[in-house]
Structures are given as C-alpha cells and as structure tokens.
Amino acid sequence: MDLLNTLVDKGLRRELPTREEALAVLATSDDELLDVVAAAGKVRRKWFGRRVKLNYLVNLKSGLCPEDCSYCSQRLGSKAEILKYTWLKPEDASKAAAAGIAGGAKRVCLVASGRGPTDRDVDRVSKTIEAIKEGNEGVEVCACLGLLSDGQADRLRAAGADAYNHNLNTSEATYGEITTTHTYADRVETVRQAHAAGMSACSGLIAGMGESDADLVDVVFSLRELDPDSVPVNFLIPFEGTPLAKEWNLTPQRCLRILAMVRFVCPDVEVRLAGGREVHLRTMQPLALQIANSIFLGDYLTSEGQEGKADLAMIADAGFEVEGAGTTTLPEHRADAAAGCGSHAASGCGSHAADGCGSHAGGGCGPCGDGDGGAVAEEPAAAVPAAAGAGEARTDLVAVRRRGAGTDLPPNA
C-alpha cells in the first residue's frame, strides 16, 4: 500500500504523518491488517530493535477517589468490588516492587488514587522511592499521583523519581464527557510540570470508551506535541459498577490498528502495551509486540493481569528479548535530549489508562488516568470463543485483583 510505504518512510525519519494518514490507518480492512502490523513493526525495530521493556505496578493507595472519571473502578461512586486500602508503608511498597524487579522489570511505577498528592503524600512517596532505590541499584521509578501542585514535581525529582505518569486519556473535545471534576488542561499542565522538573514525561490514552477515530487521532497528535518519552496505550476494561461497564467496543484487530497509528505518529517513543491487553487482544497479544516495545508485567492496579511467567514466555516465543537493566530504552537522540534537560530517566513510565501506571482504563487512578487492565481467565483456551466481535461483553476476562499490594497474598510477577 502506498499509505503504509509513506508512513514507514516518515517513521524512519521521525516525520509527523498527516491527520488524514493517521485516520486512514484506523480505517484499513482486516485483509490489510498484517500489512499494517508489518509496517509499524519496521518503525518499531528501527528505534527499539527487538527489545521489550518490562514495567511493574505498585498500587500505593487503592480506591475511594474523589474524582469521577467514568472509566475508573476507583472513582467517586464506583460500585466495583475492588481492594480498598490507604497508603502502603515504604517498606511494604519496596517489598512489592522487589517482586516485579525479580521478574525482570526495570521500571517500577508507583501509583496512588486521588485528585493529587498533599505535601505529606509527597513525603511518603519520596521515602518509598528512596527505599526502592536503596535496595535495587539501577531500577527506574515512575510516580503517578494525580495532579501536581507547585513545587511537588521538583520534590519528587529530588527524591529520585525518574519519571512521572499522567495520561491525557482522550481528546480535548470529548474530555468533559468522561470526567467533570478536573479538566483536560489540568492534565496537560501536570505533564508539563513533570517535564520542567527534569523527570521523563509519560502520558498516554485509553481506547474503547466510545470515542471516534477522530478523537483517537486528536489525542495522539496532542501527545506528540507534548513530547513524552513514553506513551502507554490502554484499552478500556468495562468494570461492572462503573458508568462505562457496557462499553465493549474493541476487537483485537481494532486494538492493533490503534497501536499502529500511535507508532506511526510517535515513532521513536516508548509505546507501552498497557492495561486491557489481555481482555481485548487476547491471543493476538504477540502481534502487538511487533508494534509496542514495552508492557506491564503481571497484575495491574485493581485488576489481575496475565501471569508474569506467561508474559515472559510470550516475549520469547515471539522472538523478542527482555530489555536488560543496563540498556537505555530510548534511542540515542531522545536519551541525549532527556539528559540535557536534567532528566535521569531512560524512558517514561507506562500507563494506567487501562490499569497500568499509566493505566486503569477500567479501574484507573483518578486524575492519574488509568484504565485497569483485565485478567485472563484461568480456563482452557478452547473455552474462549474463536471470534468475539465488538459489542460482545467478555466479563469472564475481567477479574478484580485480590493478591499483591494491600493483601497478604504474594503478588503476580
């Protein structure tokens, strides 16, 4: 296709596609899907080779958020039966992080529900960052605490935070339909504060909330303008008990097209396959690794994810390798630029737009913006319908997290 050849050429040159080209990717047919994936894969391999970065989420404070983000299981008024607990102690958070690091994660994402941290909360998180870094030399730490007040980004940076995650989630035009307790502009300002403080900026989106193709292109172009190092792509997990519980709009094919569009618009950034991948991509997850170069390992914030050992097997079987702790994630030109602005981060943090640190798209962290990823049901593959279409609810693939942080059970890592 001339379109794909053009997009590959632009991606290899880091040139921005037109909006019409981005929309055309989302409009491609199923017959063209493998061509789309292959084209996006060429751009991915140019900048990131066959490496896959592993990230691990620690939910520092779960539930009882005063914000009304419609996608989030922790929102004000949510009836989702998620874990609810107050701040983890630094030593407990560090212990939880160690499980992910032992599983191969090079970045730990510290997430807390709420509108934004108080100064006391920043002190808590600073102690947690110090505890994690003291016991795990070289590990990256990303914070995701919601909207930041003046000076808080600088304090987190001084405490050792490498990155800050705050997702835009959806287009500015439709943001008010998803959340009313804060604005799109509030989110943009927090990303800018984090960047100005010298932290690596991480900001992404949630797909599947009923948005149009134009909305998806608008938010990704806005992200390109903000220039985060990391863009987590979350897929809505329609948690029962949330306003978007009936929004089952995604198919594996559409998810792959969305990922490809993001890669073409943001060719040299860390594109993270975040929350919801197990629910909506299902057996097509390995194909998504041809496009994305980063995933979350194990569970998400309020939902269970694929087993950590299954993630590792999937990466190996697809012919990729886990990125080592001594490897710089970003291409040299981006890493040098980050170092020049005072950042000590090698790359941005994922999302929780689907429930990653940048993601609880089905159980997110308030203004932090995530879409809790869902879990893969522990059933034989034959029990899963061969072709679940858009609009078909797959609640059997959504499981609330009952292990790890905030419980007495070991984490999934």
**Residue 404 within a domain:** no
Does residue 186 form part of some domain?
yes
- % of the chain surpassing 70 pLDDT: 85
Q: What is the pLDDT of residues 324-333, one digit of tens each?
A: 988 999 999 9
Q: How many residues does the chain have?
A: 413
What's the rounded Cα separation, in Å, for the pair 123 and 366? 20
Domain membership flag for residue 406: no
In a domain, 6, yes or no: no
Catalytic residues: 65, 69, 72, 109, 142, 202, 272
pLDDT digits (tens, 9 = 90+) for 362-391: 333 434 434 443 333 333 333 434 456 777
Residue 16 CA to residue 12 CA, distance in Å, equals: 11
Q: Which domain holds residue 332?
A: 21-377+388-397
Q: Quick one: pLDDT at residue 335?
A: 86
Please indicate, yes or no, if residue 15 is contained in any of the structural domains: no
pLDDT digits (tens, 9 = 90+) for 64-104: 788 888 887 777 676 767 777 889 999 999 999 999 999 99
The reported pLDDT for the residue numbered 38 is: 98
pLDDT at 359: 39
In terms of average pLDDT, the best of 62-71, 153-162, 341-350 is: 153-162
Q: How far apart are the first and last CA of the chain?
A: 41
List the CATH number of the domain containing 255: 3.20.20.70
Q: Is residue 9 part of a domain?
A: no
Give the separation between CA 10 and CA 17, rounded to whole angstroms.
7
Residues 6+ away with beta carbon under 8 Å from 1 = 32, 35
For the chain, what is the domain count?
Answer: 1
* Residue 44 to residue 127: CA distance in whole angstroms: 36
User: In the numeric block, which tokens belong to residue 218?
Assistant: 């608008």
